[in-house]
Amino acid sequence: MRVEHEILTLHTRDPFVIARGGYAEHVTVLVRLTDEDGEYGLGEAAPNRYYGESVESALDALRRATPLLSESGGAEAATIEDELRATLPDARSLTAAVSVALHDLAAKRRSVSVRELWGLDSSRTPLSSYTIPIGDPAVLAERVRRAGEYPVLKIKLGAGDERLILDTVRAAAPEKTLRVDANAGWSRARAAEMLEMLARHDVELLEQPLAADDLEGLRELQERTAIPIIADESCRVASDVERLAGVVRGINIKLAKCGGLVEARRMIAAARAHGMSVMAGCMIESSVGISGIAQLAPLLDYADLDGAALLADDPYSGVTIPRGRIVFPDAPGIGVRKRDAA
C-alpha cells in the first residue's frame, strides 16, 4: 500500500473563537492510501493542541506508521487501526485519518458506502447543528442571519458577556433550537449561575461546562438541571464512558480524540450499554474529515458536523448539511471528491 499526504490550509468565513481562543486559519493533514490496483482511500487529520498534537507531530506519526501500512497486505481496517492506536497512542488525529482512509478504501473495493459496509440505514440521521463562535454581540445577529437555513444552532460560550451573547442570539433566532458549548471554560460557580439563563432560553443541551477532570462537578451540575449535559473533553475513548455513566447524560465523539472509526463505534456501544445519548462532532476540517465522521450518523442522537460548512475554501466535496440535514453523496466509500474533479 502506498502512503501519501498533503497539507491543507483551510480558512473559516469568520474567526472561529471558543473559550480557549480562536483562529481563522486551520491546518490539517490529508492522508491518501493507494492499493496495488490503484484504488485509494482518503482521511484527514485535524491535530489540536489541546490534546497535545500539532501538524508536525501528525507528520512524524505518519512517518512512523508508514512501514506498518506499507506491509499491511490484506489486513482488516479494524486490525490495522487497533495496532496503530497501540503504537501511536498520542497521535489520535493521525490514526483517525488512517482509519477513515482504510474504511474508504475497503468500501470502494466493494462499490458501497462505508455506511452500507456496516449495514446502517442512511435515512436515520439527526439534524446537524451549525456553530456560532464567540464574538462581539454587535456581529452575532448578522452571523445568525447568515445561518438562517439551519434550524439548530450551537452557541459557543466560556468568555465575554455570555448573557448578552445568549440574549442576542435568541432574539435573532426566536424559534430555533439552541445548544450551548462552554468548552470546559466555566468554574462550578459560573456554571451554576448560568443554569437559569440556559433554561430561560430553552437550551436543548449543554456541552462540557466544566474542566475535563471535574467529574464530581459535572455530576452535581447535572443533578441541578433538566438540561442534558454532554461530555466532550471529558470523554476521549471508549474506556472513559463507564466513569461518566451517572455523571452526565451523554457523550460527544470526535475522531481526532478517539483515534478512529472502530474506536468511535466502541464508544457508541459503551454509551448505549449505560443508557447514555450519543453525539458526534468535529474539528474545523474539510469535507474529507466531515464525510468520515458522518458515516456514524445513523447511530447518533445529536450531530455537530459543520466543520466544512464553516469554511470559505473547502477543497473537497462530500457530505453536506443543507438546512441541517445530513446529505450523503451517491458515491462509494466516504463519498468525497476533489472539487476541481467533481
The parent domain of residue 25 ranges over 2-111
Residues 6+ away with beta carbon under 8 Å from 241: 235, 251, 267, 270, 271, 274, 276
Q: Are residues 41 and 167 in the same domain?
A: no
Q: Are residues 148 and 18 in the same domain?
A: no
Q: Are residues 76 and 146 in the same domain?
A: no
Q: Are residues 153 and 269 in the same domain?
A: yes
Do residues 46 and 283 make contact, with C-beta atoms less than 8 angstroms apart? yes
Give the pLDDT score at 83.
94
Do residues 225 and 196 make contact, with C-beta atoms less than 8 angstroms apart? no
42-54 residue pLDDT tens: 999 999 998 999 9
Q: How far apart are CA 79 and CA 85, in angstroms?
A: 10
Give the pLDDT score at 17.
67
Q: Among 63, 89, 111, identify where a domain stops.
A: 111
255-268 residue pLDDT tens: 999 999 999 999 99
- Overall number of domains in the chain: 2
Which is higher by pLDDT, 17 or 54? 54
CATH classification of the domain holding 229: 3.20.20.120
On the question of pLDDT at 342 being above 80, the answer is no
Least confident window among 109-113, 137-141, 246-250: 137-141
Q: Are residues 133 and 101 in the same domain?
A: no
Q: Are residues 88 and 184 in the same domain?
A: no
Q: Pick the closest to residue 186 from 155, 217, 164 (CA basis).
A: 217
The average confidence (pLDDT) of the chain is 94
Q: Are residues 295 and 270 in the same domain?
A: yes
Q: Are residues 69 and 167 in the same domain?
A: no
Q: How far apart are CA 254 and CA 84, in angstroms?
A: 17
Q: Among 70, 96, 111, identify where a domain stops.
A: 111
On the question of pLDDT at 130 being above 60, the answer is yes
Q: How far apart are CA 306 and CA 12, in angstroms?
A: 11
Q: How far apart are CA 127 and CA 131, in angstroms?
A: 13
At CA 84, angle to CA 1 and CA 50, rounded to 5? Answer: 120
Q: Are residues 237 and 129 in the same domain?
A: yes
Q: Are residues 165 and 180 in the same domain?
A: yes
Q: How far apart are CA 191 and CA 185, in angstroms?
A: 9
